[in-house]
Structure 1
Amino acid sequence: TQHLPLAVLARGGSLSEAWRELDAWRHSDADSGPIDPDDLHAALRRSPDRAAFAPDKVALDRVLGAPEWCTFPHPTQHRLARAARYEHPVLVVGGAGTGKTVIALHRAAHLAANGRGPVLLITSSQSLAEDLSARLDLLIEDEVIRKRVEVDNAERLAMRIVTDAEGRRPPLVGPGSRTLAQLTDEALRLLSLTTGDLLDDVEPERKPYRHIVVDEAQDISPAQWRLLRAAVPRAHDDLFIVGDPHQRVTDTRVALGTVGIPAVQHTLKVSYRLPQELLSFVVRLRGGGPTTGLVRGAAEMYGYRATHNGERPMIRAYDSPESELAGLRSTIEQWLADGVPAGEIAVGARTTRLVRQAKKALAGLDVRAATFQHLKGLEFERVALIGVAEGVVPEPPPEEPAARARALQRERSILFVACTRARAMLYISHSGRGSPFIPL
């Protein structure tokens, strides 16, 4: 086990991070008994992140046909997700491609199989919740265990609590309507009454969930965090949280300690999805300097590395929007001719107007086109981003200095998120002057 803390120190981690890495291994469900160096079977049993046992052909076919992330998470991912017990809330932060969502999915599956009650897997939007639910269906074969995990987004959770209490779905428009923020506050009040929080009479069995796993934590609002805190008892394995402050696409900033979640942070520094060329590009695009963290005062991107090399991002400048769209179609046609499945190609743009233009230009090619924000949380082999031009990315910011700085940082993060959806190849185009965010 000596290589675990030494690896943390070698990549610039602190002594406390090294101790936490070692602690996570010590509390894993690996066999801690005497080790016989000649017992290959026992060695394989101790390495579930690198070996899978199939009792019959049906199980073998399932293992061979499942995505690699289902069967063989990387060792660090496996240790964090399969730790037998955490005595405190856990926060896992890491850059794009470090496997945060894989860890969240495996942790939810582990808690469903070995935990002490219902599990809630929560994320920041409905589209991401649907994607997580589909991936969880692949990961958990046992239907009984799968039913122990609910997948939702924070806004729908609040809506559901209020609807159950009032007997009808509250309107969001028209007479008597309430905002989503108001519904979240009302859901917290109702949940606190139901579980006895206001009377300081908390009983764990009165909470709706025993374990909560949070994905895309950087875009959860303070009020939503308070709701999640109230929905689970303060006990071991209560909250397991993953996120990346550099991928924040909302103006939400919160220190978890201020909302009653004293999380201990684990940091991932290795990107398994992005090639080094793309990782270096997006770090320069986003800026490796500090941003507001979820536990500590600031989080930085310096020190991230990839496990493999690949293609450099392609930057294409065109004389007109028409020629840019023609270039997009030519590029996508070439990718399809190269044998890339249409489902592994995505086209992104900053505005819905540009998305409509892209769809029209790509008529008949059956590839996905969406705004940058709607690509969040997804991944594709190849991604093309169009309209990355001055005046579009970023959108014109407000004049007030503080608001201007926040708006520009948010715009930079949105472009960063879109770029990091690519696993193998990234294509960026613009007509006229390119965005000032594009690294030279």
Structure 2
Amino acid sequence: MLELANTFHRSLNRLTNAEQTATKTIIFDYMSDPSRPGLSLHRVDKAREKGFWTIRVNRDLRIVVYKHSQKSVFCYVAHHDDAYSWAERRRFEVHPVTGAAQIVELVEIVREEIRTVTPEPARRGIFAHEGRDYLLSLGVPETYLELLLQVDEDGLLELLPRLPEEAQEALMAIATGERPEPRPVLQANIDADPFTHPDAQRRFWVASDEQMVAQALEKPWAEWLVFLHPSQRAAVERSVTGPARISGSAGTGKSVVAMHRAAHLARNTASGRILLTTFSKILSERLSEGMDTLLGSSSEARQRVEVIHLHAYAHRHVSRLKPLTIADDRTIDGFIEDARRDLDSTITNGFIRTEWDAIVDYWGIKTFDAYKVIARTGRGTAMNAALRRKLWDVFERVQRQLAANELYTFGEVCDLLRSRIEQDEARPFTHVVVDEAQDLGPRELGLVAALAPAASRSLTFAGDVGQRIFRWPFSWLSAGVDVRGRSHRLKVNYRTTAEIRLFSDHLLPARLTEVDGEPEERAAVSLLHGPKPDLKGANDLVGEVEILAEWLGGLQQLGVAPGEIAIFARTRRALQERAGPALERVGIGGTWLAPDKTHEDGKVILGTLHSAKGLEFRAVAIVACDDLQTPLQAALNLSNEPDEKRLTEERELSLLYVGCTRARDQLLITWSGTPSRFLDSVK
């Protein structure tokens, strides 16, 4: 049995592919026989932590391992001098208050560096008014207390990366005006294993066999879903009396919380079924894999959790009695063209189609009486009764055409299943957890509310209004779901570097509000750091291809695997024109994102911004960010009213935000000609 620390994962990801392979081989050798002579175990003589040893990977590469009794913790891997330097500047500690195991960087090094970045050391520290006992209760190592009481805001930013994660989060919360609760205290049990504390479990993972180690080493730390951060745990375990909502900007772990919520419910209910669903087919595949990891693919609890995207679930169950065919966009456009007849030519087909998508089919309106009184949120100026009458004649003909051809929309399928459930009075699930809930429409939301009985913890929604890219805003209250007063906002970003997060957050307003929801602040804290996003424009397409090819070549030199790289654009055509030639120039293949598709090894991931939802990659390029593609002029041209254009542009901006926040470490944005106006606030 051995343990892997998050510091080991991060250092492993910085190595070349060949070095990573060699390191993994040595780990398996160690597991089979820790005393094997070829491992060249050597104690780090100059380290204050006498439990630090190194293992020889090759001529220059070394693994730092902490050995104590029968425990071996893989902590770091790097080239010889770097590995020894890392070990000499750190030690293992059991926190005196929380009882959690920590890897602590020696304070002498930090003290010296803080002096170099603090121009006014005499300034009163921002934590000077805090009691030492309170700071200790937050997980701050005891040796950092004196320094922390003196540090100012600039010094804090330099200090935070050297502290344990729980301390980083708590201190940033204090610095931004919050008052976090103390961490769980386990010191009363002196025999407790310090590695079992919730704070310790976020940075150390126990592997009992080679298969578990192999699984862990194939995924970046941020994707290894067995780690639930304490700031997310409250959202997972909270008990509420009605529907609850979990919100947070990109990278704060909403999908992770949704999966852990479903797993928590499965473990703590003796019977009953749980549905974990979302709006995206690609994301539902990822959620299913996560549930296999959390519960075990063959466990009894896993068998009671169904993971499927909502439209597929509705279509499958409604079609059991009679096969249903979904009308595609081209068919509906044709029906609208046929149904408009002598309608005034100033009313375009594009306007009628968006009225259908945003109002009529969106809400499931079947009568003129319902249409003439419904609020048209975001649809511009009010319509008089005469115009609504003329438009309803068109919509009524479209609905008759759909019925005559036995065609359905997904909204109708959701309504059919909801009606059947309510008629039978048999709820198929005890709990429903929805990820990316911001992209549900009112008919989908009504179906979700019908899938489980009205009970404590029966409905949980995770989402971010800033990432709404498929649907129009609407009142959840009007759809019969009230989450007011039962919202939990995640504020710590565990995926994206601070530099990428700041850039991405500046694309959106600082505060966003749902139609009848509570304001959502975009502010979050990132614990990772890296290079700033790279914004590069060219005069023409050829120049943009050269920029992309040069970036890809640089990633190759850094040892970034092609499968850890993604290139996105607003449209498939724009991506093909840029990614294809660039990939050919550097000799790498590309593979398109698609549901139910296993991506080929050794190829860069390609996709539209819509397909990027819910995914993450080590490096991301977003191409064609010019004034015609971002926002997409063709989408804006479909909008006639000012409010409608505003909502369309907001959705286009959210698409760019989604694309940018798929990047963990590196982000490139390119354009040809005039750059997108969306970049004005961040350039």
TM-score per shorter chain, which class?
0.7 to 0.9
CA distance in structure 2 between the partners assigned to 1:220 and 1:299 by the alignment: 18
Aligned-partner SS, 1:427? strand
Identify if the C-alpha distance between structure 1 residues 427 and 60 changes in structure 2 by more than 3 Å, giving closer, same or farther. Answer: closer
Alignment partner of 1:187 out of 417, 435, 445: 417
Within-5 A mapping of 1:377-416: 377-396=614-633, 397=636, 398-416=639-657
Cα deviation for residue 134 of structure 1 reads 2.0
Identify if the C-alpha distance between structure 1 residues 395 and 64 changes in structure 2 by more than 3 Å, giving closer, same or farther. Answer: closer
Alignment partner of 1:239 out of 455, 459, 467: 459
Aligned-partner SS, 1:292? coil
Quote the residue 2:49 is aligned against.
none
Identify if the C-alpha distance between structure 1 residues 293 and 351 changes in structure 2 by more than 3 Å, giving closer, same or farther. Answer: same
Alignment partner of 1:299 out of 510, 520, 528: 520
Cα-to-partner distance string for 1:282-334 (whole Å, 9 max, x where unaligned) = 111123233426732x3231x32211321101011111112211321221122
Q: Which structure's relative contact order is higher, taking Cα pairs within 8 Å and 6+ residues apart?
A: 1
Within-5 A mapping of 1:301-380: 301=522, 303-361=523-581, 362-363=583-584, 364-365=587-588, 366-380=603-617
Within-5 A mapping of 1:141-290: 141=296, 143=298, 144-164=300-320, 166-172=321-327, 175-195=405-425, 206-263=426-483, 264-290=486-512
Cα deviation for residue 89 of structure 1 reads 2.3
Quote the residue 2:266 is aligned against.
112
Identify if the C-alpha distance between structure 1 residues 56 and 246 changes in structure 2 by more than 3 Å, giving closer, same or farther. Answer: closer
Alignment partner of 2:236 out of 59, 81, 84: 81
Cα deviation for residue 190 of structure 1 reads 1.6
Identify if the C-alpha distance between structure 1 residues 9 and 229 changes in structure 2 by more than 3 Å, giving closer, same or farther. Answer: farther
Cα deviation for residue 146 of structure 1 reads 1.8
Identify if the C-alpha distance between structure 1 residues 45 and 169 changes in structure 2 by more than 3 Å, giving closer, same or farther. Answer: same
CA distance in structure 1 between the partners assigned to 2:649 and 2:491 by the alignment: 25
CA contact (8 A) 2:266 2:274 kept: yes
Q: Which structure 1 segments of 5+ residues have no match?
A: 196-205
Aligned-partner SS, 1:213? strand
Alignment partner of 2:279 out of 106, 124, 129: 124
Cα deviation for residue 157 of structure 1 reads 2.1
CA contact (8 A) 1:389 1:435 kept: yes
CA distance in structure 1 between the partners assigned to 2:502 and 2:678 by the alignment: 14
CA contact (8 A) 1:358 1:369 kept: no
CA distance in structure 2 between the partners assigned to 1:51 and 1:320 by the alignment: 47
Q: Which structure 2 segments of 5+ residues have no match?
A: 1-97, 99-133, 139-168, 332-404, 589-602
Identify if the C-alpha distance between structure 1 residues 72 and 367 changes in structure 2 by more than 3 Å, giving closer, same or farther. Answer: same
Aligned-partner SS, 1:430? strand
Identify if the C-alpha distance between structure 1 residues 62 and 261 changes in structure 2 by more than 3 Å, giving closer, same or farther. Answer: farther
Within-5 A mapping of 1:23-34: none
CA distance in structure 2 between the partners assigned to 1:237 and 1:252 by the alignment: 27
Cα deviation for residue 87 of structure 1 reads 3.3
CA contact (8 A) 1:213 1:241 kept: yes
- Higher Cα Rg, which structure: 2
Bigger Cα displacement from structure 2, 171-180 vs 402-411: 171-180
Cα-to-partner distance string for 1:173-224 (whole Å, 9 max, x where unaligned) = 67211111222222221221122xxxxxxxxxx2111111110011011111
Q: Read off the aligned partner of 1:95 and give its amino acid letter.
A: S
CA contact (8 A) 1:313 1:427 kept: yes
Within-5 A mapping of 1:42-53: 44=196, 49-50=201-202
Identity of aligned residues (%): 31
Aligned length: 413
CA contact (8 A) 1:311 1:424 kept: yes
CA distance in structure 2 between the partners assigned to 1:37 and 1:426 by the alignment: 46
Identify if the C-alpha distance between structure 1 residues 349 and 256 changes in structure 2 by more than 3 Å, giving closer, same or farther. Answer: same
Quote the residue 2:293 is aligned against.
138
CA distance in structure 2 between the partners assigned to 1:128 and 1:154 by the alignment: 11
Identify if the C-alpha distance between structure 1 residues 391 and 42 changes in structure 2 by more than 3 Å, giving closer, same or farther. Answer: closer
CA distance in structure 2 between the partners assigned to 1:217 and 1:293 by the alignment: 14
CA distance in structure 1 between the partners assigned to 2:469 and 2:658 by the alignment: 8
CA distance in structure 2 between the partners assigned to 1:277 and 1:168 by the alignment: 50
CA distance in structure 1 between the partners assigned to 2:462 and 2:644 by the alignment: 27
Identify if the C-alpha distance between structure 1 residues 385 and 262 changes in structure 2 by more than 3 Å, giving closer, same or farther. Answer: same
Cα deviation for residue 43 of structure 1 reads 8.1
CA distance in structure 2 between the partners assigned to 1:134 and 1:383 by the alignment: 23
Identify if the C-alpha distance between structure 1 residues 271 and 45 changes in structure 2 by more than 3 Å, giving closer, same or farther. Answer: closer
CA distance in structure 2 between the partners assigned to 1:53 and 1:59 by the alignment: 14
Quote the residue 1:199 is aligned against.
none
CA contact (8 A) 2:279 2:436 kept: yes
CA contact (8 A) 2:544 2:578 kept: no
Note the aligned Cα RMSD (angstroms).
2.9
Q: Read off the aligned partner of 2:641 and give its amino acid letter.
A: E
Cα deviation for residue 171 of structure 1 reads 4.3
TM-score, normalised to structure 1's length? 0.85
CA distance in structure 2 between the partners assigned to 1:209 and 1:265 by the alignment: 22
